[in-house]
Structure 1
């Protein structure tokens, strides 16, 4: 399927098959341990067991990542468990350097208007949770990235000359507004309960800035990361433990490749 390869199985077993230093960019979103109803995974493990499991995976990711590679980890949480994302990041502290902490904003209200989508809650204690974390880990903390690849034009054009920039493009910062498209059925989510928009891994890959990068997603789900890799002309590898989700990812990727060939 284009430049992409999907492998069905446990990511720990499959990671062991990858050569050391063979991956340029990892973009993934593991189970959050918040009780999502996956087909083949218990999403309510004891917290310490869950973190130890992710740390084991992180060690393998550090092995397969190039010295100048980037590891983008998307982790969300719930209003009643806001620490989970930070606990995960802290578990990786001895393995990776946290180079950038990005807030993925899924919905934002400006004045009386709201743009984007979120899962509403009914509560007298908590606000709706409209954002998730994207942790950009590297092995050294000094990996150069292509900030302008995901940059935006200057609002005030006088800043171009004032700040001696040669182009109408500036860094967009570490707050990324990437809303979900409205879905009305499970099929529109590719039969997966917790996917992310293709635009999220696409932005991560662009930020890393390497043409023809080799991209890995060890928790592939419905395949968004490999669709993003294919769109950008990168090679991609995806691991998915559940055969139903793996088949959905294959079908999604085939549909994307077919659309591109038209």
Structure 2
């Protein structure tokens, strides 16, 4: 895989790319909720934040292919639940919202036997007004809303195997569409400073889902305008994408992402 990652502002970096040259964009920008990044002030006015969002997503629109996919992961704080929806409305100026996926970080499910099974990781909230937030959004934007997806690339087996023969669309295969709720827990780590030295990351598996469901990852150029410590790069490597482009403004986070390029060279 050809990797091109740069330590610079993505708005400037994307200007150097040819138009309609990227197949898949998967990213998670700052949420403007006061996260303590090293080099970015995450607490501006809502107007300034949405104007900035317009700037960098214009860049994405220019470099994205006509049949490309733009996956943007956005969360919210309990005090500011409208943020993801305002960003989605902002992006609708340039894109069509084709799918909305719900990234489930933690979930509790009651079995048929009456037992409760809890899985995943979450940050508990001690509040009389709000419940603990265990999910975020992944909005899937395209230019025209008609991009075909490889839905079974992240498919799951049927719980009731009789459905395989009952439904003609299965073609006899034990795999169905996963749907728009994706349970992707964080990996368990021992040390935040060593294993995940970034205050706001998504699991590489979440980015893998996005790349695979778009289809034909081996032929895809994947881009992340907010590279962070490189989880989207890890996903592109796992999917064997043909090319990866990333931008990260913070030098410390960028150095972490660079280690992934070194490990790829060592294994080739």
Same fold (TM over 0.5): yes
Which residue is 1:130 aligned to? 134
Which residue is 2:103 aligned to? 104
Which residue is 1:240 aligned to? 248
Structure 2 SS opposite 1:247: helix
- What count of residue pairs does the alignment treat as equivalent? 259
Aligned partners of 1:184 and 1:78: how far apart in 2? 26
Structure 2 SS opposite 1:169: coil
* Unpaired runs of at least 5, structure 1: none
Aligned partners of 2:32 and 2:155: how far apart in 1? 33
Note if 1:207 corresponds to 2:213: yes
* Unpaired runs of at least 5, structure 2: 111-115
With structure 2 as the length reference, what TM-score do the two structures score? 0.93
- Indicate if the aligned counterparts of 1:25 and 1:214 stay in contact, CA closer than 8 A: yes
User: What is the CA RMSD across the aligned residues, in angstroms?
Assistant: 1.3
Aligned partners of 2:229 and 2:261: how far apart in 1? 9
Which residue is 1:65 aligned to? 64
Note if 1:152 corresponds to 2:156: yes
- Indicate if the aligned counterparts of 1:105 and 1:178 stay in contact, CA closer than 8 A: yes
With structure 1 as the length reference, what TM-score do the two structures score? 0.95
Aligned partners of 2:189 and 2:49: how far apart in 1? 30
Could you tell me how far 1:253 is from its partner in structure 2?
A: 4.2
Q: Which moved more, 1:144-153 or 1:203-212?
A: 203-212
Note if 1:168 corresponds to 2:174: yes
| Correspondence for 2:119 among 115, 121, 128 | 115
**Could you list the per-position Cα deviations for residues 33-78 of structure 1 after superposition, in whole angstroms to 9, with x for gaps in the alignment?**
1100001100001011101101111111111000000000000011
Which residue is 1:220 aligned to? 227
Q: 1:223 to 1:177 in 2, by over 3 A?
A: same
Aligned partners of 1:115 and 1:257: how far apart in 2? 36
